[in-house]
């Protein structure tokens, strides 16, 4: 909907309010305010170009630092944590999947809570939780990166049930993507 359409709707609302004697809040600047808000909000809402998230350069540096810090804390290769973050969300703190996974490391709310993450949208907490979970998966699967990455995506029970990467196309593609990024 463009601003002309919004203006027409606002004029119609004003007409109805006037007809029924309802005192309305002034809307003279509504179009200007809406346009201003759309200009502020639009960059965050735009889809990433060519599969990459649009991030300021400083955000990349901040994410890199958070990844290095969390990886070091849990004894995980920072390149692996970075590869998971890239595959999961293109390293976007505001990412939300259709399944409900949130943040840079795409933590499910229940998993995040179990990992001690109180705010999944906080990149520091999200990355810390994701690195901790990745370490748990590495430990559960004896350091087997392929199985740990599959478990990060499909859950450890699925990996145990199939004795390795489950035969789910999504998980197989995910594991290949992470391992390609990891190299």
CB 31 within 8 A of CB 9: no
DSSP-derived 3-state class of residue 96: strand
Is the model more confident about 168 or about 60? 168
Q: Is 88 a catalytic residue?
A: yes
Quote the pLDDT of residue 56: 42
Give pLDDT tens digits for 114-156: 999 999 999 999 999 999 999 999 999 999 999 999 999 999 9
Residue given tokens 């979970």 in the structure block: 133
Over the stretch 2-47, which tens digit does the pLDDT of each residue have? 556 666 666 776 666 667 666 555 555 555 555 555 554 433 333 4
Burial class (CB in 10 A: 0-12, 13-18, 19+), 29: exposed
- Please provide the average confidence, as pLDDT, over all residues in the chain: 83
Q: What contacts 91, CB < 8 A, 6 or more positions away?
A: 53, 55, 60, 63, 82, 85, 104
The residue-averaged pLDDT of 69-77 equals 98
Place of tokens 């599969």: 51
- pLDDT the model gives residue 60: 77
Catalytic residue among 37, 86, 88, 110: 88
Q: Per residue in 33-45, is it b (16+ CB within 10 Å) or e — as a string?
A: eeeeeeeeeeeee
Q: Are 163 and 105 in contact (CB under 8 A)?
A: no
- Rg of the chain over CA atoms, in angstroms? 22
Confirm whether pTM is higher than 0.85: no
SS3 state of residue 107: strand
pLDDT one-digit tens code per residue, 90-108: 999 999 999 999 999 999 9
Go through the domains of the chain in sequence order and give each one's CATH number.
Answer: 3-45 (no CATH), 57-182 (1.10.530.10)
């Amino acid at each position: 909907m463009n601003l002309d359409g919004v203006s027409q709707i606002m004029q119609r609302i004003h007409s109805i309010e006037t007809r029924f004697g309802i005192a309305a809040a002034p809307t003279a600047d509504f179009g200007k305010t809406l346009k201003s808000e759309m200009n502020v909000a639009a960059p965050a809402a735009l889809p990433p170009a060519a599969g990459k998230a649009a991030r300021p350069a400083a955000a990349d540096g901040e994410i890199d630092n958070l990844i290095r810090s969390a990886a070091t804390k849990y004894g995980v290769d920072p390149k692996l944590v970075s590869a998971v973050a890239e595959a999961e969300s293109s390293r976007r703190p505001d990412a939300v999947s259709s399944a409900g996974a949130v943040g840079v490391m795409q933590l499910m709310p229940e998993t995040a809570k179990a990992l001690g993450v109180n705010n999944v949208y906080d990149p520091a907490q999200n990355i810390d939780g994701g690195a901790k979970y990745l370490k748990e998966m590495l430990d559960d699967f004896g350091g087997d990166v392929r199985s740990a990455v599959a478990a990060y995506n499909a859950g450890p029970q699925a990996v145990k049930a199939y004795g390795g990467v489950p035969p789910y196309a999504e998980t197989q593609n995910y594991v290949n993507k992470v391992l390609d990024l990891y190299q």
